[in-house]
Structure 1
Amino acid sequence: TEAALAHIAATDPAINAFTAVTTARARAEAAAVDAQLDQGQAPGPLAGVPFAVKNLFDIEGLPTLAGAKINRDRAPARRDAVLIRRLRAAGAVLVGALGMGEYAYDFTGENFHDGPCRNPHDRGRSSGGSSSGSGAATAAGMAPISLGSDTNGSLRVPAALCGVFSLKPTYGRLPRSGTFSFVDSLDHLGPLARCSRDLALAYDAMQGPDPDDHGCAPRRAEPTLATLEQPVPGLRLGLASGWLARNCGPEAL
């Protein structure tokens, strides 16, 4: 945790991925994980792993911004979003809130109020959006796991531009309680990570029904980690044609 906080302090001024760093909370959560280990308890599969969330997730004690200046005057959230609570239950340590396009309506990583979020691989290029801070923070190693949302590409675009892994789960697989909605019938929440195994660990920790989210499927968790490297019979890949194909580089193809 201390290494993650130090890396954020050294790296983020040039990237601008974070809108808040929860230093005191992160240290307290890390100390709790250490105490569990000292007592011979199992703190969970993500014990001590730092994570950060797009600032449309409720974080107890902070106003939920959703990328908008007007929301800075909102009352602080009284509890964490359900996905934060589930990652915490798996032992992960929250290190902060991440920038995003205003009200999640953005593909560029630009935000008039918080400034642009820059691509860690080339700070002159776009990080993508609207989960811009999530993609950039994970790519820069400031948060091995981050959470974002996707209504029309907002997980997939920053993951692609920043070179990390992401997952837009099937609608209803991950609960959205405690988040700022963009389009309720189309909003998906999901993780970003630097490898598929970390992505599966986070996804598995967050699955499960939630009575507070009317759109969440009432079905049990279906763990993915154990079958991650197994082949998928009949798998087919679709390749976009037209403009996308003409403007796509050979590495992506």
Structure 2
Amino acid sequence: MNGLLFSSASAITDGVNSGRFSAGEVVDFFLAHIAEQNPTLNAFTRVLAKRARQRAAQLDAMTARGENPGPLAGVPFAVKNLFDIRGLTTLAGSAINAGNPPAREDALLIRRLEEKGAILIGALGMGEYAYDFTGENRHYGNCANPWNSKHMSGGSSSGSGAAVGAGLVPLALGSDTNGSIRVPASFCGIFGLKPTYGRLPRTGSYPFCDSLDHVGPLARSCEDLARSFDAMQGYSPSDHACADRAPMDTMAELQKGVDGLRISRAAGYFSLEDFPQAQRAVDKVCRALDCSDEIELPGTLEGRSAAYLITNVEGSRLHLPRLQTRPQDFDPDTRDRFIAGALLPAAWYARAQQVRHWYAEQVREVFANVDVIVAAATPCVAPRMGEKILSIRGEEQPLRPNLGYFTQPISTAGLPSCVVPTLDEESGLPIGVQIIAAPWREDWCLRVANYLEQQGFTAPRPPQL
């Protein structure tokens, strides 16, 4: 069973369906690995051993009857603790939510994954109310990077990145408002997909910023990313932002490679002269893709500014009652940013929404001349825990918001983006690259990501594991 540690979802499913091992054995193996590694990583806030074993027994009974449990049969997964889990309180990384009643049913995406044979094994830590890029949480402790526990895992889907990166689960769900799937994917050396805004329903997930909230998967391989994405697709009227579009079969698209795709490197705002670690990563990917063309996304600075305002205003509006009655129970950094958002004039918010839509249109026009754009995911490899300052264009800036320097504009435009991991040889830590496509073309993102994985851009095993 030791070969399961960093096995793909398909390898687990093939083993369960062929009878080489049972779903129960898979669950017990991963529960043991979680028990061994989680005290160091602090990725899980709740391990659902009883539920997982019961679900595994159901799947094993199905296979014994000759039934096919689905394309994710026996694959354990975990979810950021802003997804509702039946019988658990949805924490959203906060102390305040701990007093809320338990959720009555699972989030829609959990149900869809389990319908395909996957097994929920736990809830994962995150930044408070998803307003974080570091993985540091004053209420439940910091989530450590599996490559070096003295470094940040990234956030706000911190537990999702660390758990997948350390092999505690093959798959995890996260949310991404301004980069909260892609930053931990970059820091933890894994693949992460932020789909097009409105592609996956957010039903049963705790909100942050309705205009920008996305949900999506993190995995150790591109195939697993595509397999889980396909399992979760489908319209739902329960989320007003969910688009009524036919699901795509991205698994069928993976092997098409990059032939015929017009690929360019992001320039202008995304230039990397001042970010040597990110530049090495993007250079490496562009060489593998034989990509020399550059393209600018017009209005990116304005688009990112709009995202700041929208995030602050919508987040503060959501949390205003708690800010008024329980300010002492917030992380001070989170609280102060929400308070600042509550003080912004309504006219600024209205203007920011106009700029958001203008920027999205500007960017969509760019895709008349290109299919896929390569850009950095993070400005650097994972900083050490406790760091507060990041150099941006030669100026000292607060680290926490600026770890999303390259991801936030892509969220503003609602574009699909897949993070592909690379290893920065100088630091010995991973750093990711974004593969960005036009709206609703997740298949193009995943085709390029899969090609790169086949060229050796994989998520290597962290050295201490």
Letter in 2 for 1:45: P
Aligned to 2:265: 237
Matches for 1:144-163 after TM superposition, within 5 Å: 144-163=170-189
Runs of 4+ in 1 over 6 A off after TM superposition: none
Describe how 1:209-224 pairs up with structure 2 within 5 A.
Answer: 209-224=235-250
Give the structure 1 partner of residue 36 of structure 2.
10
Per the alignment, residue 178 of structure 1 pairs with 204
Q: Following TM superposition, by how much is the alpha carbon of 1:133 offset from its aligned partner in structure 2, in angstroms? A: 0.2
Q: Percent identity?
A: 58
Aligned ranges for residues 1-253 of structure 1 at < 5 Å?
Answer: 1-232=27-258, 233-238=261-266, 240-242=270-272, 245-246=275-276, 248=278, 250-253=280-283
Unaligned runs of at least 5 residues, structure 1: none
Question: One-letter code of the match for 1:44?
Answer: G
Cα offsets for 1:62-99 (capped at 9, x unmatched): 00000001111110000000000000000000000000
TM-score (norm 1): 0.97
The answer to whether the Cα contact below 8 Å between 2:273 and 2:279 also exists between their aligned partners in 1 is no
Q: Give 1:249 deviation, angstroms.
A: 5.6
**What is the alpha-carbon distance in structure 1 between the residues aligned to residue 272 and residue 31 of structure 2?**
44
2:264 corresponds to which letter in structure 1? R
**Cα distance, 1:220 vs. partner?**
1.7
Query: What are the Cα deviations for residues 40-80 of structure 1, in whole angstroms up to 9, with x where unaligned?
Result: 11100000000000000000000000000111111000000
2:94·2:139 contact (CA, 8 Å) conserved in 1? yes
**How far 1:222 moved relative to its partner?**
0.7
RMSD: 1.2
Which structure has the larger Rg over C-alpha atoms?
A: 2
The separation in 2 between residues aligned to 1:131 and 1:31, in whole angstroms, is: 30
Question: 1:40 corresponds to which letter in structure 2?
Answer: G
Letter in 2 for 1:234: R
Q: Could you state the TM-score of these two structures normalised by the residue count of structure 2?
A: 0.53
- Figure out how many residues of one structure are paired with residues of the other and give that number: 253
- Letter of the 1:219 partner, please give it: R
Alignment deviations for residues 159-208 of structure 1 (CA, whole Å, 9 cap, x no partner): 00000000000011100000000001100000000000000000000000
For 1:250, give the aligned amino acid: R
Counterpart Cα distance in 1 of 2:224 and 2:148: 24
Q: 1:132 to 1:49 in 2, by over 3 A?
A: same
Higher helix share: 2
Amino acid at match of 1:245: F
SS of the equivalent of 1:248 reads helix
Structure 2 counterpart of 1:192, one-letter code = L
Alignment partners' CA distance in 2, 1:246 and 1:85: 42
Distance in 2 (CA, whole Å) between partners of 1:251 and 1:182 is 31
